[in-house]
Structure 1
Amino acid sequence: MKAPRIPPVPRGSGRIAQVLLGAAGAAYLAYNGMYNVQGGQKAVIFSRYSGVGKQVYGEGTHICVPWLHRPQIFDVRTRPKKMRSISGTKDLQMVDIEMRVLYKPRTTMLPLIWSRFGTDYDERILPSIISETLKAAIAQFDAAQLITKREEVSKLVRRNLKERAGRDFFIEIEDVAITHLGFGREYTKAIEDKQVAQQEAERAKFLVQRALQEKKAMVIQAQGEARSAELIGNAMQRDASYLELKRLDAAKEIATNVARSNNSVYLNSESLLLNLLDDSTETLAPKK
């Protein structure tokens, strides 16, 4: 029995396979041997042979050796970090405080940051040092000073946090701001009670001042009426014309009121002081 005959390989097929393999290798090298660093980013190369490289690469397209090199991209733009903590003041009051911190890594120290703390360095480092620095700063002020000296507290936290983060962890702190400040329930109630007591004291003081002014006004009015009565008595002893003048004023007022009334009224002119033609001087003069 004869073995099956293998058909001959066409000429040029080996060359075609080589070309295809070469093209595939070139495509693999082109895709995996280049990486891009966007704006606001830096790159550090990890080598399977030597570990984390010392050079920091900036924006642009760079070449690396596939499998041997692995680029790690870092965001070096300024980013915010919010931290909330309950701290004790100098006068032993508990305050709920929230702080916003603007930070970024020191670009020249990115290889060391990656080696020591990893790519999530901010989540590992910032919460602990922000809380520690914040508690230490809050403990130097009274509860009332946290409101009146808020900017000073922020500057103190910024200075201490900037020194600690930059010296030990290579993180640059650009700004620190207090975004929320709340006091405990007992302290808040004490402040409200104090305000109510101050308002009540001011109200009592106002009432006392008003009573004194009313008393003074009544004394002045009584003195004026007494002086007026004395002057009227002296004038009547000399001449009864003052009573005639008052009688004319009363008659004028009564006539005005009667004229404005819609009803018809018939009254004695003697009782209404309207008999102005009589000799009132003799009528009103004191009898001897």
Structure 2
Amino acid sequence: MLGLEIIEPGEVGILVRLGKAQEKVLQEGLHFVAPWLDRVQKFDIRVQKYEVEVPAETRDLQPVDAKFVITYRVKENKVVTVLREHGDLKHVEEELVSPQTKGAFRQAATSMNAQEMVTQRAELKQDFERELNDSLDKFGIKLLDISILRLEFGKDYQDAVIRAQMAEQQAREAENMVKVAKAEALAEQERAKGQALAEKERAEGKVTAIKKVGDALLSPGGKLFLQIEILEAWKEGGSKVPNVLVIGDDIPRLPFLVNTEQSNNNPLEDY
């Protein structure tokens, strides 16, 4: 009389005859067995996830507390060997996955100091995965992925990191203050240059205007204008003509009106 065994998807069956595991692996589906002679040990070959906590030390002896999720599966062609040596998945995780994970991470941790472990996490994970994959592969376990859940350092190191961050922030603030001060000084210099240039242009404008007036007065029309001004002054002042000395053609500069302090009733005498 035969019995029936059903192997579900994601499982394989190991035929145990008279207490000894056989090399033949039963795939998913319906199988006939002799119940008085055989039994079937089912084994899950689907992807498994297992959490492992690992205390370790870095190369510079900083304590680090890590926690990982190890994603793995048992290789189908190694199921019989794994079952014989370790039993079901619970024993596989306790006797293989956990200790191999701890050993691989401690090996990777000693190759880095604490700062490198923080700044070079990708390299750390790569080294860790390589070590663990080599270790588990020897036992018929296929490593699929490692997820880092926690990577914490001791309090002394954390305090040192905080102090370093504060010092760096203060240095940046001081650098920004220096930049602001330099910018303000440069702006003040530019303002001063602008003001000096404006004063220079105003002074040059005045000189130019005076020169133009002088040139106009030295022209024939300018001399006539001065004569008319003298006559107008004489008319307004009565019979007394303002005492005026006109310096003209022989001096190539501005004409000057100078009080001679002498009475002269002929305003055109000097002309």
- Relative to the length of structure 2, the TM-score reads 0.67
CA contact (8 A) 1:41 1:59 kept: yes
CA distance in 1, matches of 2:93, 2:158: 35
Summarize the alignment of residues 27-106 of structure 1 with structure 2, pairs less than 5 Å apart. 29=1, 33-48=3-18, 51-106=20-75
The correspondence for 2:147, drawn from 170, 177, 188, is 177
**2:216 corresponds to 1:210:** no
The correspondence for 2:94, drawn from 114, 120, 123, is 123
**2:168 corresponds to 1:195:** no
What letter is aligned with 1:146?
M
The correspondence for 1:186, drawn from 147, 156, 167, is 156
Summarize the alignment of residues 233-244 of structure 1 with structure 2, pairs less than 5 Å apart. none
Note the C-alpha offset of 1:181: 2.4
**Structure 1 92/237 Cα, relative in aligned 2: closer, same or farther at 3 Å?**
same
CA distance in 2, matches of 1:58, 1:170: 18
Partner deviation per Cα, 1:236-273 (whole Å, 9 max, x = no partner): 68879xxxxxxxxxxxxxxxxxxxxxxxxxxxxxxxxx
CA contact (8 A) 1:155 1:176 kept: no
The correspondence for 1:114, drawn from 83, 107, 132, is 83
Structure 1: where are the runs of 5+ without partners?
1-28, 241-288
Note the C-alpha offset of 1:36: 0.7
**Structure 1 235/136 Cα, relative in aligned 2: closer, same or farther at 3 Å?**
same
Quote the residue 2:218 is aligned against: none
**Structure 1 69/208 Cα, relative in aligned 2: closer, same or farther at 3 Å?**
same
Structure 2: where are the runs of 5+ without partners?
211-271
- Relative to the length of structure 1, the TM-score reads 0.63
**Structure 1 226/157 Cα, relative in aligned 2: closer, same or farther at 3 Å?**
closer
Partner deviation per Cα, 1:159-207 (whole Å, 9 max, x = no partner): 221221121x221222233233233322222222212211211211222
Note the C-alpha offset of 1:105: 1.4
Q: Which moved more, 1:139-148 or 1:189-198?
A: 139-148
**Structure 1 238/209 Cα, relative in aligned 2: closer, same or farther at 3 Å?**
same
Percent identical: 25
In the alignment of these two chains, the number of paired residues is 209
Partner deviation per Cα, 1:46-99 (whole Å, 9 max, x = no partner): 222x62222111111112222432211000111112212122112222222222
Note the C-alpha offset of 1:125: 1.6
CA distance in 1, matches of 2:208, 2:129: 91
- Give the secondary structure class of the aligned counterpart of 1:140: coil
CA distance in 2, matches of 1:53, 1:158: 33
CA distance in 2, matches of 1:108, 1:160: 22
Note the C-alpha offset of 1:101: 1.8
**Structure 1 212/157 Cα, relative in aligned 2: closer, same or farther at 3 Å?**
closer
CA contact (8 A) 1:44 1:56 kept: yes
Partner deviation per Cα, 1:138-165 (whole Å, 9 max, x = no partner): 1112223223332322222222212211
CA distance in 2, matches of 1:89, 1:106: 33
Q: Which structure has the larger Rg?
A: 2
Partner deviation per Cα, 1:202-222 (whole Å, 9 max, x = no partner): 211222232233234334434
**Structure 1 234/70 Cα, relative in aligned 2: closer, same or farther at 3 Å?**
closer
Partner deviation per Cα, 1:15-74 (whole Å, 9 max, x = no partner): xxxxxxxxxxxxxx56xx2111011111112222x6222211111111222243221100
- Give the secondary structure class of the aligned counterpart of 1:92: coil
What letter is aligned with 2:178?
V
Summarize the alignment of residues 219-238 of structure 1 with structure 2, pairs less than 5 Å apart. 219-225=189-195, 228-229=198-199, 232=202
Note the C-alpha offset of 1:230: 6.0
CA distance in 2, matches of 1:174, 1:238: 89
